[in-house]
C-alpha cells in the first residue's frame, strides 16, 4: 500500500462524471452561427483553456459575429446549464474522500476548468469542503501538458511529488504527472478510450469503474 500525505485530484472525469458537459460543447454552441467543427479542430484544442479555445475558433472563422468575450459568455451559460443537469460524482468517490479525510491526507483539486464553474460544480454536490484548495489553469497559466499545476499543488501542501498521488483520467496528464515524479492513479474514462494504453503505462494504479476498487490498496 502506498502511504502518501497528499492527494491531487483532477475534476472532470475524475471527481465528477462530467465529461459529457464538454462533449461537443463548442460545436453545440457554434452550430447556431453556421459553423460546423471538424474532428481535427477538436483534436487541436485538447487541453486548451476556454479563452484559448475561443481565440482558436474566432481566428479560423472570422465570419462569427462575436468577439472573444461574447463567445466566452455564450459558452459560459451553456457550461453552467450542462454542469447543473449532467454532472454527478464518480462512483465511490464520496466514500473515498471521507476515508482520506479520516486519514488526515491533504487534498487539492487541479483542473483546467474555470474556477467559478469548478467551485460551483463541487459545491452543488457537497464536495468542495473536502479540499484544502483548488488550482485552475487561471492560477497556473499552462495546461497539463506541463507539470506546473501538480508541482504548485505539492509545493502548497509542503510535500514532495513522491509523497502525493495525482488522480487523473486524461492519459496525457497521467504521463505529465508521472514524469514529474508523482504517484499516479489513472481513472478510466470513456471519453479517453483511445488513450487507454498510455493511461495504463503512466499509472501506478488504475481505477476501472469505481473508487471502491482502491480499498486497502491506496
Q: Mean pLDDT across the chain, nearest whole number? A: 93
| Residue 48: predicted pLDDT | 82
Poorest-pLDDT segment among 16-20, 92-96, 163-167: 16-20
> Residue 97: what pLDDT?
97
pLDDT, tens digit (0-9, with 9 covering 90-100), for 168-198: 999 999 999 999 999 999 999 998 999 999 9
Q: Is 43's pLDDT higher than 90?
A: no
CA within 13 Å, CB half, 205? 19
Cα 128 from Cα 100, distance rounded (Å): 14
CB atoms inside a 10 Å sphere around CB 150: 27
For residue 1, pLDDT over 70 is answered with: no
| Residue 186, φ and ψ in degrees, nearest 5 | -80, 140
Which bin fits 64, alpha (ψ -120 to 50), beta or left (φ > 0)?
Answer: beta
Q: Please give the pLDDT value at position 3.
A: 78
Q: Is the dihedral of CA 115, 18, 88, 91 positive or negative?
A: negative
| pLDDT confidence tier of residue 66, bands split at 50, 70 and 90 | very high
Tens digit of each residue's pLDDT (9 = 90 or more) over 110-144: 999 989 999 999 999 999 999 999 999 889 988 89
Name the percent of the chain lying above pLDDT 70.
99
Report which secondary-structure segment, H or E, holds 106.
strand 106-111
Q: Following CA atoms 93, 118, 68, 173 in sequence, which dihedral angle do they give, to the nearest 10 degrees?
A: -40
Give the confidence band of 42 by pLDDT, cuts at 50, 70, 90.
confident
How many CB atoms are located within 10 Å of the residue 181 CB?
15
- Taken as a whole, the chain contains a residue count of 218
Q: Comparing 49 with 110, which gets the higher pLDDT? A: 110
**pLDDT on residue 178:** 98
Q: Is residue 47 over pLDDT 80?
A: no
Q: Among 70-79, 174-183, 194-203, whose mean pLDDT is lowest?
A: 70-79
**Exposed / middle / buried, residue 72 (Cβ in 10 Å: 0-12, 13-18, 19+):** middle
Pair 9, 109: CB distance under 8 Å: yes
Q: Give yes or no for residue 29 having a pLDDT over 70.
A: yes
Q: What is the reported pLDDT for 185? A: 98
- Among all chains, which residue has been given the C-alpha cell 500500500? 1
Amino acid at each position: 500500500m502506498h502511504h502518501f500525505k497528499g492527494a491531487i485530484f483532477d475534476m472532470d472525469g475524475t471527481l465528477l462524471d462530467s465529461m459529457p458537459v464538454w462533449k461537443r460543447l463548442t460545436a453545440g454552441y457554434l452550430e447556431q452561427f453556421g459553423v460546423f467543427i471538424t474532428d481535427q479542430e477538436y483534436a487541436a484544442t485538447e487541453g486548451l483553456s476556454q479563452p484559448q479555445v475561443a481565440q482558436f475558433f474566432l481566428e479560423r472563422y472570422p465570419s462569427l459575429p462575436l468577439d472573444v468575450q461574447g463567445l466566452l459568455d455564450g459558452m459560459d451559460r451553456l457550461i453552467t446549464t450542462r454542469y447543473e443537469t449532467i454532472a454527478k460524482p464518480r462512483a465511490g468517490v464520496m466514500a473515498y474522500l471521507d476515508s482520506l479525510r479520516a486519514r488526515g491526507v491533504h487534498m487539492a483539486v487541479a483542473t483546467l476548468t474555470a474556477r467559478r464553474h469548478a467551485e460551483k460544480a463541487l459545491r452543488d454536490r457537497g464536495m468542495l469542503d473536502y479540499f484544502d484548495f483548488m488550482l485552475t489553469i487561471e492560477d497556473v497559466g499552462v495546461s497539463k501538458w506541463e507539470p506546473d499545476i501538480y508541482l504548485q499543488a505539492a509545493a502548497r501542501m509542503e510535500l514532495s511529488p513522491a509523497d502525493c498521488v495525482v488522480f487523473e483520467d486524461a492519459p496525457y496528464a497521467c504521463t505529465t504527472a508521472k514524469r514529474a515524479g508523482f504517484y499516479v492513479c489513472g481513472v478510466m474514462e470513456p471519453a479517453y478510450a483511445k488513450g487507454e494504453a498510455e493511461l495504463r503505462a503512466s499509472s501506478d494504479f488504475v481505477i476501472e469503474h469505481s473508487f471502491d476498487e482502491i480499498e486497502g490498496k491506496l
